[in-house]
Chains A and B, each alone.
Chain A
Amino acid sequence: METIAVYWESRIKTYGFNKVDNLSLFEFFCPATKTTELGKVLSNGNFQDTKTKFIVAQESNNGISLVFCLPEKEGRDFHISLKKILSLKSYRYLYPVGVIFFHGPHFGDRYGIADAAFSSLFEAGIKIISSGCSSASVFLVIAEDDLSRAEEVLGKAFDSAQ
């Protein structure tokens, strides 16, 4: 059985925007031969209480690049520990960054959400450092100073629940 439903929103609906500031970003590359070892390090209990606000990973060059955003103190401790345990020579640590994230009633079922988010921020000159969109939500990592302006810009591009 096929049921066809058509809906259209003049502006894409969201449940509002959430901002998190005072975060640090830690990025490093893990070769494919070491991903099991990295997994064991992350799951051995030392980081069980470490609360991440954002994680993305992308496969590249026969390995995986990982990006983590954590509250400042946890981020500092996490990056110092991993740097030591994994003998990381190449990594990036950025502070301060912020995350703005949002989701909406039709996210996951419709097209056009990434276009509305990325195009509006690009046109406003706000640089996105990293982004992850999955499970019907959009997470954007930007400079902490840009958080309020990003909320304003996204608020014009999307309809926000009051």
Chain B
Amino acid sequence: MERLKIGGLKLSVVLCQFELKGPDPPQKIVSTVSKALAAEKINIEFLTYHSRKGGDYQISICVNQDKFYSTSNIFQKKGYLPESWEVSSREKIGMVTIFPYHSALAILGVIMATWGENSIPVYGIATSLSAISFLTDFQAIDKAVEIIQSSFQLPDNHAPLKPELHYYQSTVSKKD
């Protein structure tokens, strides 16, 4: 079978993931949590939110690994989350973003099948207008990329885009 064409690959820096689960409608919680992260100048790199069938809710948030402790502290502070909500975290994960030519659905299928066969976990997925992103263990990224390169047709001489610059905002603003 002909391999699907894709436009390219992009890899993230090392991230960490927080999973928030609970029974209450989470919109206020997402609002509160994102406000608290913004107050600490923590950039959310990936967020999924869904109110699921059956009445429970789940929010998944990824931030840079170097913000793991400050983010943990926010979630542990009293008042941010209702008592019935639980938080779990996962350190050192990575995000692989694929730029599709055609069907994101077919790409999703190939990734689930090939990563599954190679025991590479998928911790989250989200699409944007021109890309589909997958979360997995950071240490598994090289293997994951190798599988993608052998499962899809990439442009000639393509190398995955790796972040060379790390942007962050200082907590101090200076005036002239």
Contacts and interface: CB of A to CB of B under 8 A. Distances in A.
A6 B109 CA distance: 42
B113 A40 contact: yes
B65 interface: no
A135 B98 CA distance: 10
A11 to B, nearest CB: 14
A90 B103 contact: no
Given A42-B105, A103-B129, A35 B116 contact: yes
Contacts, number: 200
B143 interface: no
Give the most central of A36, A50, A115, A134: most B CB within 10 Å: A134
B42 interface: yes
Contacts of B122: 35, 57, 59, 64
B117 interface: yes
- For the residues of B in contact with A, the DSSP-based class is mixed
A115 B34 contact: yes
Contacts of A6: 169-170, 173-174
B85 interface: no
Interface residues of B, number: 64
Nearest to B99: A135
Nearest to A30: B112
A4 B170 contact: yes
Contacts of B105: 42, 47-48, 50, 52, 55, 68
A58 B53 CA distance: 14
Nearest to A27: B53
Given A43-B4, A119-B35, A130-B49, 18 more contacts: A27-B50, A39-B116, A45-B106, A59-B122, A60-B21, A91-B53, A108-B43, A115-B37, A115-B38, A118-B31, A129-B51, A131-B48, A132-B128, A133-B126, A134-B95, A135-B128, A136-B128, A137-B129
Interface of B: 1, 4, 19, 21, 25, 27-28, 30-31, 34-35, 37-38, 41-54, 58, 60, 95, 97, 102-106, 108-117, 121-133, 167, 169-170, 173-174
Closest 3 CB pairs of A and B: A42-B109, A39-B112, A43-B109
